[in-house]
Structure 1
Amino acid sequence: MAYSLRTEAQIAGVWSDISNKVYSRSPVVIERGRREEDSAVGPSKGRLQLNNRDVEFSPDNPRSVNYGRIGPNTPIRMSVDGAESYFASTGVSGDVLTTPDHASLDIVGDIDVRVELTADWYLTTPQTLIGKWSAIDGNRSWLMRITAGQVHFVWSPTGLSAGAFFAFVDLPQMPRRAALRAVLDVNNGAGGWTVSFYWSTSLSGTWTLITTVTIAGVTSIYSGSAPLEIAPTQVTTSETRLPWRGRLHRAEVRSGIGGSVVAAPDVRAKAVGTTSWADSAGRTWSVAGAGTVTNREWRLHAEVSAWPTRGDVAGRDIHVPVEAAGILRRLGQGVKPLASTLRRRIPAVGAPVAYWPLEEGRNATQGYSPLPGVDPLVVTGFSFETDDTLPGSSSLPKIAAAATMRGNVPAYTPTGQWHVAYVGYSPAAPASVTKYLEFFTTGTAKRITFTAEPGFLEMIGYNSAGGVLFTTTVGESDFHGHWTGVGLTAAETGGNVRYEINWDVVDGPGYVAGSTVAGTAGIVTSVNTTFGTLAADLRIGHLGVFPSSSTAVYRFGDNGWGGEEASTRLIRLGTEESVPVMANYSGTPLGPQRPNKLLTLLGECAAADLGLLYESRDRLGLAFKARTNFYNQPVALTLDYAARGEVSPPLEPTPDDQRIRNDRIVNRVGGTSARAVDETGPRSINPPPAGVGLYDDSRTLNLRYDSQPEPIADWLLHMGTWGEARYPTVRINMAAIPAQLMPAVLALEIGDRIQIINPPEWLPPGPIDLIVEGYTETLRPPGRWDLVLNCSPAGMWTVAVSDDPVLGRLDTAGSTLVSGVSSTATSLSVATTTGPIWTTAAGDLPFDIRVGGEVMTVTAVSGASSPQTFTVTRSVNAVVKAHLAGADVRLAQPSILSY
């Protein structure tokens, strides 16, 4: 297959085509993912050679037209022409494909909405797909979106978000390119409404019902004037949901269930760069924002860290050997750990007017403030870097008896409210009243103290004469012996001020008490505390003053986001560090995020979930495929070895011990451990021939609960003792592959599942089932294009599905042939050696068994006790052989419980 490789560099911020500068004498080589299944995912690489005779790729040469316009980490991207066009949705609000409102689109009754997309269906974040949903409340009709592996259909009978209804269901495992359909029956004839969801491989394929949702009460859809949009933004009363990032191939909106088509954008045959066209229903579609109609199939997005100029003595062959690398290379250059979650969250979210983290080193004598214009906190009796047990902080100080701290708060505009807060640990209740905090304000309460005594915590306000203005008391249950967050607040209400103590146990309950007095809140001017002598051993940190009475700023930061799900943390960290991250939903709860390098923290998320973190191909960013998205995933590409050109030799299994691990230990950071050992199987720790000997390993994961290591260890043991041979490489000659397979090959992504059917006789019978761990492609325009996939066995990811006729069957605990059989015998005598006998119910038949590598289909089972007689169809997998008495009999596809 001929192809056109396009290479572009971002010069002065603009993508410029430099394809004519790429030398064909040197191949373009692109590497992505893992080279071997157990190795870490490294940065993608792109190697090419650029013609530099006119020195345009010499950024330090003033003669270059690109002098000062390119340099270290200049983005570069490569792509080829695809077989068809698509609308590229950017995921950014306003980048839409849109058609104006029309009478035919003002559907108030039954509606049938269909879209064919390429999408990451299981991302944690909501992704809007199609809808008539205005940014103005009161003009909202309907919308379809996907969220964390669910499809949602939303509509409003009134045009208001507050009056909207929605139905949703979990998505099945779907290929990356697929079609979704939502059908709303506004009056199902039984006094209710029904939404039915379907999926298919394409808009013209056979629709498979996912499920229906039925609720009492008939409904309708608001006839609004909003345009119909592909990739709309859903604005609600509480949040904004952005469009999906991916491809639209085509869509349909029908008035009525299976009714007349009123909109049908089809992008597949549109010319690249098309900005407007009329569809078959007469609707005129326009591209808006940065959305585009394109056919690009992206092969790499990377950065050029260096532009080394090379040349011969005569100065004729001047070139630049470029080695671009993915974003992981740049992210891995930094050695500075990210600050603690409290240190990161408080300035970013709380907008404090004064803040002292108190995370200083052991020899510090004052508390630094990261806020400009805020003087250090002057302290005595502080032993810094003493206690590192608060999950959301670096090590904090312990104070001595009668320690002091003094800090001025810069003047700020009064807001009628304020809040002074800190996190602390009081080992035990003091024997008598002991001061923990004192500060001053310009309000009616000039001086405020916070004290502890047996059974109580008190906030006391004093007027300008030193008299007590108010006393607020709250119980101290759970306060001592735990890390707590303390907030003292004031908020004006009319001519009064409400003063409150707000305190909560980190990862525990919270408490509040308050007093209201006449007056004003003023502003906080200074913190000036002499701790009581009984406050010795108090730990304190993250002292802040805020122009708001909200105490939520410390929330989540104080426990280091403990319990946060892996995909949520990946997205949050990416957002905080300006690294694009697309993450499939993972419900794995994580332990606290401690100060560490960004890549280490991202890697913790993937490791805890047993998922895969890799670089995106279509932008400089990262993608995460969760463990659960490997389970029973659809086959993305099927190659036929017998078909000329689909698989290039050699195709060689490697039945080695690289991936064997039969003794697994999983440790939880700061918690318990679990061990899983195979003591009986063919890959057990027993010496040969009973097993393979000991192959042990141990890993430490940042998990939330002590209940997590055990199932993880069990699953890792399952993976480490899986019996399939490895096929480390699968070679595809892209120039010879059939044209109908090219779209699937180009769409193939790291973590996808492929199958090779009809393998040669000298290999085990197929299909060969594999996971793509990474790949290397070599392009030498105009003709040569080789793709080498690095693969691992996929069978280990096939897991049980309840009530499924194949994946829902429990295997025998132990069965063998009573007597030997010939290669053509169709009746077997099977003895059950352990556990229940085999089912004889006609409704449970047929099912496949495996005997000595041969797969047979059991069509009948007779006998109420062992041995039983099986009637079978032989050689289902093309293995023809006789079997001896005592041969093991198992289900061909036993149920494997997923973790």
Structure 2
Amino acid sequence: MPIPTPRVELQQDGSWEDITGRAYHRDPIEISTGRRAEGSRADPTDISLTINNRDGEFSDLNPLSPRYGKLTPNTPIRVAMPGSESYLRLDRTTTGIATTPDTAALDITGDIDVRVELTARNWYTTNRQTLIGKWSQTDSGQRSWFLRIGVAIVTFVWTTGGTNATQHFVEAPLPGGLRRAALRATLDVNNGSGGHTATLYWAPSMDGPWTTLFTATGSGITSVYASTSPLTIGPTDLTSTPNRLPLDGRIHRAEVRNGIGGAVVAAPDLRALAEGTTAWTDSAGRAWSLSGTAEITRSQYRGAGEIESWPSRWTLSGADAWVPVRGRGVLERLSRTSKPLDSTLRRRIPTFSPLAYWPMEEGEEATQIYSPIAGVSPLKYSGLTLANDDTLPGSAPLPTTAAYATLSARVPRSAAVGWHVELVYKAPTLPAGISGDFLRVQIAGSAVAQFIVKAGSTGIRLDLRDADDVLLATNTWADPAPVAAFQGRWNRLQLFTAQDGANTRFYAAWLDVEANTWYYLPISWATTAGQVTWVHNVWDHASWENLSIGHLAVFPTPATYSGGAPSVGTMAFDNADNGLRGETALDRLARLTAEEAVPFSWVDGDTTASSEQLGPQRVMPLLELLEEAADVDGGMLGEDPERLGLHYRDRMSLYNQTPALTLDYAGGQVAPPLEPVRDTQRVVNDVEVKRVNGSSARAVLETGRLSVQAPPHGIGRIDQAPELNVFSDDQVAPQAGWRLHLGTVEEARYPSVTVYLHQQPDLIDDVLALRPGDLLRITNLPVWAGGQDVDLVVEGWHETIQAPEWTITFACSPASPWSVGILDDPILGRIDTDGSSLVSGVSASATSLTVASDQAPWTTDPADCPFDIRVGGEVMTVTSITGAASPQTFTVVRAVNGISKSQTAGTDVRLATPTIIAL
């Protein structure tokens, strides 16, 4: 069978162009992706091919070429192979949709049943992605219903009056690990009990079986508004917040039914359409058409990269000319970007539109303190030692004061009435009494010209003074708790105003960055708030020496006050001061890639559980921060094969997988050589995990064949000491235990598995659907390879495509460590024995074993049977156990894994699939 022709696409002028006809097939197209050569990090995608350049069109210096000036370094390229079925590709643009006109059959007002089968690039993003609906973007009175995903939930919305004000909805969490799946929503407008019932489902495909996600019963009979809007795959509503935009991914088929399980009134099935179709009629008689960037395609993308250069090559005779190009994935560019990202405070504060902001993160030899806000003058100072305190998690090193220091910052005038000043500081001590000025705010447009914060050992005091420096009002808080909280730690100081009738309330508030404890001190005067013109101070008391200070910001945003604590008008410093400490790995990966405009998608194995919490985001290059988060979570960070972007599989998505690809060795589906390796390359039997700036924990395998004992009782010590940026010291012990578990897999490795797809065309669809992290199973291995099925995690691959051959070699690692315990599961929920063995030897056909236990005996409850044990490499099924104390009698079925042999006395007896406690 001839192999399909690879599709080669080049991005020019902002759109993708098919240049398949220019790819020379005399040279192979080679694509590598994921982890290769048993690395611990994903390598950049690597694409190499040769372009026919006999006409000089792909010579970047040829002024006669229509591509002159366009063949720049880092031109995007991607390669796809055609799959066996088509799909509708949507890219989340407002016009990239499929529609069918409104008709009477679609004007369902009673019970409705909506089903969609899709592959989302990202099921769990915070972006709302609409799938199908009758919902007008432009006419807010012509809205009937829609189905969407977003924030790891599926939502069905309907209106009774055609407007957002009359909408109702039901939503449910999505199951974890979704890739291609079907969603369904049903609405029973009159459930017979005076109410209505809406139910959400999911299934592996629209063929079912359907699993209920959530059922909601509402009071009163409802209805669905019969709008004049067309039925749309990917309806858009730009008026909502956040905006609802079409799916970023693939639609395979959909159905709309009049009634639950009722007559099908729309049935767009894209799977059998010819590639390039732009209009068709579905089996229900609906006429569909595409618009914008929506397209019908069969392309299954194998990799995307950026072309590094355009080297021209030709023969001496001039009969042939070509350009060998190489595309490298986005990880290549990110790995060459060594500039650290700014601190979390420096990145976050400007996004809140301050009037003025001075990070104060200059190096120790700087001569001025600049502002990143346009039009704001540098801060003037004396007596500051720059870059002298690096202990604030959310900042680069900040200055400290000498025994005498000054600061003066001019603030541009604002038309707003009211203001907010904020900074971070750490005061080692306070002056005696309340004699020390801590900060002064100069005000215009108010009877209060100066707002002064004083601090000392006996209290915190606020002074209001007029333009003649006359004291107008003062308020002191002498309670020991707020005074103690003002010093000795990193705090945020907020000075802000709030209108209280004819009076203005002036506030000082300080927050312990670590403990998140606030203290508020108010003072009031009958005046307007005015505007801040200067922030300044003189620290002339010896007790202020070594005061750390930074991130001075001024906002034109007052607080609101209605009695009690004020509602502060800006949250610019929130969590950024502690470096977003406690953020989950998935949240940090998603946030950083969004901030840096790097396309990102992920697979979440369990949407109801959080990924690992991280310590503060430090000042590091982007890729290092992303890899740090992935390291803590334990997942796989790699690239998106369809675009220049990143993809992440969280650790939970790797647990307890079913095979995505099964290869029959005896049937010739695995190409030679298949070479198992028994070595210590990936073995680690002594792991000490240290938290960055924190505690550590150690896990050691003391006994067994891979233990730290010297041979022959073990293999000797092979240690590892990773430093992880985890949130708390409580995480280091589980991290050490999990890494020890991963490092002591007692089985052969199969580093590479090769398949000749030109000889095994029935495997092509499964291979094209495979992604790094998926489970690959090899069956029917020969007896000299153990004779048992082998489960492997696919970490990456290299494929070579050159007619008539298509070869792919998978880089693999053992999958057994990822089989983890599930509470109450009949197989994965069992705790293994502390040690047990055969009392006497048995023949290869014996069905009764006498087993002695080192400690507690095995269960004798018939309800706990059957289960599998492993004895000398043979898997047996235990059907019953008798005897309350050791030794016990096991009745077994032999040769469950195809191995049957005589067993000797003393042979170890264990669960075949013992429970492993996951991280």
Q: TM-score, normalised by structure 2?
A: 0.91
Change (3 A) 1:821 1:56: same
Residue identity matched to 1:540: I
Matched, 1:825 2:849: no
The CA deviation string for residues 426-462 of structure 1, in whole angstroms up to 9 with x for no partner, is: 1233212311222323221222222223354344332
**Conserved? CA contact 1:6–1:19, under 8 Å:** yes
1:154 Cα deviation after fit: 5.0
Matched, 1:460 2:484: no
More off after superposition, 723-732 vs 623-632: 723-732
1:703 Cα deviation after fit: 0.8
CA distance in 2, matches of 1:108, 1:870: 63
1:541 Cα deviation after fit: 0.5
CA distance in 2, matches of 1:58, 1:121: 38
Q: Which of 489, 498, 518 is matched with 1:510 structurally?
A: 518
Change (3 A) 1:210 1:634: farther
**How many equivalent pairs are there?**
891
Q: Which of 619, 623, 635 is matched with 1:611 structurally?
A: 635
Report the counterpart of residue 856 of structure 1 in structure 2. Answer: 876
Stretches of structure 1 lacking an aligned partner (at least 5 in a row):
none
More off after superposition, 244-253 vs 716-725: 244-253
The CA deviation string for residues 564-612 of structure 1, in whole angstroms up to 9 with x for no partner, is: 1111111111111111111334521111111111111111111110111
The residue matched to 1:744 in structure 2 has which SS? helix
**Conserved? CA contact 2:160–2:166, under 8 Å:** no
More off after superposition, 273-282 vs 676-685: 273-282
The CA deviation string for residues 214-255 of structure 1, in whole angstroms up to 9 with x for no partner, is: 557456354252554433457797534555422111122333
Report the counterpart of residue 426 of structure 1 in structure 2. Answer: 427
1:70-109 paired onto structure 2 within 5 Å: 70-107=71-108, 109=110
Residue identity matched to 2:296: V
Q: Which of 759, 783, 806 is matched with 2:827 structurally?
A: 806
1:795 Cα deviation after fit: 1.4
More off after superposition, 4-13 vs 96-105: 96-105
Change (3 A) 1:350 1:717: same
Change (3 A) 1:238 1:523: same
The CA deviation string for residues 75-100 of structure 1, in whole angstroms up to 9 with x for no partner, is: 11111222111011224455333445
**Conserved? CA contact 2:788–2:898, under 8 Å:** no
Report the counterpart of residue 277 of structure 2 in structure 1. Answer: 274
**Conserved? CA contact 2:426–2:487, under 8 Å:** yes
**Conserved? CA contact 1:455–1:477, under 8 Å:** no
Matched, 1:324 2:318: no
Residue identity matched to 2:544: A
CA RMSD in angstroms, aligned pairs only: 2.7
CA distance in 2, matches of 1:679, 1:190: 65
Q: Which of 773, 777, 780 is matched with 1:755 structurally?
A: 777
1:202 Cα deviation after fit: 2.0
Report the counterpart of residue 771 of structure 1 in structure 2. Answer: 793
CA distance in 2, matches of 1:274, 1:423: 60
The residue matched to 1:323 in structure 2 has which SS? strand
Change (3 A) 1:583 1:451: farther
Change (3 A) 1:3 1:679: same
1:189 Cα deviation after fit: 5.9
Change (3 A) 1:87 1:236: same
Change (3 A) 1:434 1:757: same
Matched, 1:844 2:845: no
Report the counterpart of residue 671 of structure 1 in structure 2. Answer: 694
CA distance in 1, matches of 2:859, 2:176: 29
CA distance in 2, matches of 1:732, 1:649: 9
**Conserved? CA contact 1:36–1:791, under 8 Å:** no
**Conserved? CA contact 1:152–1:169, under 8 Å:** no
Change (3 A) 1:564 1:249: same
1:109-128 paired onto structure 2 within 5 Å: 109-119=110-120, 123-128=124-129
The residue matched to 1:367 in structure 2 has which SS? coil
More off after superposition, 855-864 vs 525-534: 525-534
**Conserved? CA contact 1:722–1:796, under 8 Å:** yes
Matched, 1:571 2:590: yes
The residue matched to 1:707 in structure 2 has which SS? helix
Report the counterpart of residue 443 of structure 2 in structure 1. Answer: 441
The residue matched to 1:274 in structure 2 has which SS? coil
**Conserved? CA contact 1:850–1:891, under 8 Å:** yes
The residue matched to 2:345 in structure 1 has which SS? helix
Change (3 A) 1:167 1:96: same
Report the counterpart of residue 710 of structure 2 in structure 1. Answer: 687
Change (3 A) 1:418 1:173: closer
CA distance in 1, matches of 2:475, 2:143: 48
CA distance in 1, matches of 2:655, 2:526: 64
The CA deviation string for residues 645-668 of structure 1, in whole angstroms up to 9 with x for no partner, is: x22122221122111111111111
Residue identity matched to 1:664: V
Q: Which of 345, 355, 358 is matched with 2:357 structurally?
A: 355
Q: TM-score, normalised by structure 1?
A: 0.93
**Conserved? CA contact 1:47–1:323, under 8 Å:** yes
Change (3 A) 1:234 1:792: farther
Report the counterpart of residue 548 of structure 1 in structure 2. Answer: 557
The residue matched to 1:813 in structure 2 has which SS? coil
Residue identity matched to 1:854: E
Report the counterpart of residue 639 of structure 1 in structure 2. Answer: 663
1:643 Cα deviation after fit: 2.7
Change (3 A) 1:215 1:235: farther
1:187-586 paired onto structure 2 within 5 Å: 196-207=199-210, 209-213=211-215, 217=219, 220-223=222-225, 225=227, 227-232=230-235, 239-240=242-243, 242-347=245-350, 349-411=351-413, 413-431=414-432, 432-444=434-446, 445-454=448-457, 456-471=459-474, 475-491=482-498, 496-507=503-514, 508-533=516-541, 534-549=543-558, 550-585=569-604
Change (3 A) 1:500 1:857: same
Matched, 1:719 2:742: yes
CA distance in 2, matches of 1:107, 1:427: 70
Report the counterpart of residue 870 of structure 1 in structure 2. Answer: 890
The CA deviation string for residues 21-71 of structure 1, in whole angstroms up to 9 with x for no partner, is: 322222111111111334321211111122333332232343443221121
The CA deviation string for residues 390-439 of structure 1, in whole angstroms up to 9 with x for no partner, is: 1111000111233111232234x402232222111112332123112223
The CA deviation string for residues 637-695 of structure 1, in whole angstroms up to 9 with x for no partner, is: 12222334x22122221122111111111111111111111112321111223222211
CA distance in 2, matches of 1:473, 1:92: 58
Change (3 A) 1:633 1:191: farther
Change (3 A) 1:682 1:553: same
1:755 Cα deviation after fit: 1.1
CA distance in 2, matches of 1:786, 1:37: 19
**Conserved? CA contact 1:155–1:166, under 8 Å:** no
1:799 Cα deviation after fit: 1.1
Change (3 A) 1:871 1:140: farther
1:196 Cα deviation after fit: 4.8
**Conserved? CA contact 2:497–2:504, under 8 Å:** yes
1:387 Cα deviation after fit: 0.5
Stretches of structure 2 lacking an aligned partner (at least 5 in a row):
559-568, 605-609
**Conserved? CA contact 1:588–1:609, under 8 Å:** yes
CA distance in 1, matches of 2:187, 2:879: 42
Report the counterpart of residue 649 of structure 2 in structure 1. Answer: 625
**Conserved? CA contact 2:108–2:226, under 8 Å:** no
More off after superposition, 300-309 vs 451-460: 451-460
Report the counterpart of residue 753 of structure 2 in structure 1. Answer: 730
Change (3 A) 1:121 1:875: farther
1:851 Cα deviation after fit: 1.1
Residue identity matched to 1:171: P
Change (3 A) 1:759 1:244: farther
CA distance in 2, matches of 1:873, 1:301: 51
Residue identity matched to 1:648: A
